[in-house]
Amino acid sequence: MVRKLLGAICAAVLVVLGVVATGPAAAAPPDKLPENYNFFGGIPYELQHPGGDLPGSNDFTCKPSPEHPRPVILVHGTGGAKTTNWGSYVPMLRNRGYCVFALTYGALPGLPWPATAVGGMDRQEVSAGQLSRFVDKVLAATGAETVDLVGHSQGTYMPTYYVKYLGGADKVTNYVSLAPLWRGTGDIGPMAKAFGEQNIPMPVCVGCGGMLPGSAMNKKIWAGGSPYVKGINYTNIATRYDEAVMPYTAGLVPGRAGENVTNIVVQDSCEQDYSDHMAIAGSRRAAYMVLNALDPERPVKVPCTFVPPFTG
């Protein structure tokens, strides 16, 4: 019964979000893909191509260039997918010469679409195993030595399990996080809090309890006294108006000696930026900060313009 209800809810959510998304679904990738800086920009494509890949992503024939020698893997947030979370990022990165890949992790098994496009539901250990296999597939196809990770929300948190426990430390160079939650978030609801504190898997969103401060997963993330691993370059990009990661400073953990960490609050350089938890993954401003984290030797100018909440 719960699984049938989840399928119905997923279908309704995707249809509603498809209505608020702007712009038509992208066609086959031309030389330059249209760039649409809107958090919901990838949803129309998912609705029209269930389970497909956004044009420009997951091209396993792509070979990294000398300018961008590492493939970029996009890791969505809770409830997201390889399409729905990354309508802004796939064309931006591909147009700039990156080999860009994205996976849907943590979708509950055994369910039909649209539940297959609602990721981040499973335990972080399961999701990290899926990420591990995907990274290995990307490295084998591209011939690259390491990848760069760009994550949003849970996609900033779960990969740490991969890095610390599944051999990812030697396979990741840059780890860029949008709306990170290293210390966990206390704002995922009282039910999640009760389940998480008792380490009882929640129904439907099994992994939500793992994002609570003090949860068993949060303790694993912090093993050794830090969420970071030496040798990886971390960039944390947060917003004061984050209504899901609370407090927003939970993702702004300074690095210790030997840890390379840059913390950014988008409003510190532009008060017109009203990004919330979703909008930060659709904002051109934040996206250009990500470009600079991936390629600091060729920085782009980050504009200070009005960024609305919700869409970015």
Burial letters 198-226, b for 16+ CB under 10 A, else e: eeeebeebbbbbbbbbebebbebbbeeeb
Residue 76 inside a domain? The answer is yes
Judge whether 304 lies within some domain: no
In a domain, 136, yes or no: yes
- Within a domain: residue 301? no
pLDDT of amino acid 186: 72
Strand-pair partners of 237: 178, 264
Query: Residue holding tokens 């990661």?
Result: 245
State the pLDDT at residue 204: 73
Task: Give every CB contact of residue 224 below 8 A, 6+ residues apart in sequence.
Answer: none
Q: What is the CATH number of the domain that holds 258?
A: 3.40.50.1820
Whether residue 207 is contained in a domain is answered as yes
Q: What are 20-65's pLDDT values in tens digits?
A: 444 433 333 447 999 999 999 999 999 999 999 999 999 999 999 9
Tell me what pLDDT residue 17 has.
Answer: 42
> According to the model, what pLDDT value does residue 26 have?
36
Residue 245 lies in a domain: yes
| CA neighbor of 131 nearest in space, from 173, 103, 172 | 103
Tell me how long the chain is.
312
Distance CA 131, CA 144 (A): 16
- Does 246 reside within a domain? yes
Q: Could you please report the per-residue DSSP string of 171-240?
A: TEEEEEEES--TT--S-S-HHHHHHHHTTPPPSS-TTGGGGSTTSHHHHHHTGGG-S--TTSEEEEEE-T
CB atoms within 10 A of CB 310: 15
Can you list the residues of the chain whose pLDDT is less than 70? Answer: 1-30, 187-203
Token pair recorded at residue 125: 């250990």
> What pLDDT shows up at residue 201?
55
| In contact, 171 and 198? CB cutoff 8 Å | no
Q: Give the phi and the psi of residue 168 in degrees, each rounded to 5.
A: -75, -15
Does residue 312 form part of some domain? no
18 Rama class: left (phi>0) / alpha (psi -120 to 50) / beta: alpha
- The number of distinct structural domains making up the chain is 1
Q: What is the rounded CA–CA span in Å between residue 5 and residue 45?
A: 24
Collapsed DSSP state (helix, strand, coil) of residue 135: helix
User: What residue numbers bound the domain in which 124 lies?
Assistant: 2-294
Separation in Å, CA 241 to CA 252, 271, 283: 14, 11, 14
Query: To which H or E segment does residue 126 belong?
Result: helix 124-142
pLDDT for 287 equals 98
| Model pLDDT for residues 177-216, shown as the tens digit of each residue | 999 999 998 755 554 555 545 555 556 788 899 999 999 9
Evaluated on CA atoms 130, 134, 140, 146, the torsion sign reads: negative
